[in-house]
Amino acid sequence: MKKLILMIAAVLTLGVVQAQIFDPVKWTFAAKKTGEEDVVLFLKATIDNGWNIYSQHVGDGGPVPTSFSFTPSSDYQLVGKVLEPTPNKKFEKTFDMQVLYFSKEVVFQQKIKLKKGQTVIKGAVEFMVCNDKQCLPPDEKTFAITVK
């Protein structure tokens, strides 16, 4: 009987702990051919209400900027840098500075030139998310985008 009670208590505790985990940003990744060798990658963050992620261009002492890394491959070449739309701007007391951020949704874009007709582009995005009460530790999501 004691074992049953301990198991029930453990399951209930696990449920409470999992309810505390925040995952306010969902990432989706896609590619669109714009020419025979030209492709645009779309790296989209959908952000829960009240939360923000930050621009790629954040000053020292601020939140962790959003950054993208791409696994090197002879199948493609990156063209330029990852583009982002115009971010919102506000003073955040937490960082004692102006920060550039996105809320609700943001789509980053990366142009590539194919060296091979079909490939998979792999990489990762690192980002930090905050609301008006807290910031979560930086997170990283990996991706694999098929280009046909």
pLDDT of residue 93: 86
**Rounded to whole angstroms, what are the CA distances from 122 to 32, 76, 115?**
15, 11, 15
What's the predicted TM-score (pTM) here?
A: 0.85
Predicted local distance difference test score (pLDDT) of residue 21:
82
* Res 20: pLDDT: 61
Residues 6 or more apart whose CB falls under 8 angstroms from that of 71 comprise 121, 122, 123
Superfamily of domain 24-147: Thiol:disulfide interchange protein DsbD, N-terminal domain (2.60.40.1250)
pLDDT in tens, the chain (148 residues): 444 343 443 434 444 444 468 899 999 999 999 999 999 999 999 999 999 999 999 999 999 999 999 999 999 999 999 999 999 999 998 899 999 999 999 999 999 999 988 999 999 999 999 999 999 999 999 999 999 8
127: number of Cβ within 10 Å:
23
- Stated as kind and residue range, the H or E segment containing 144 is strand 139-147
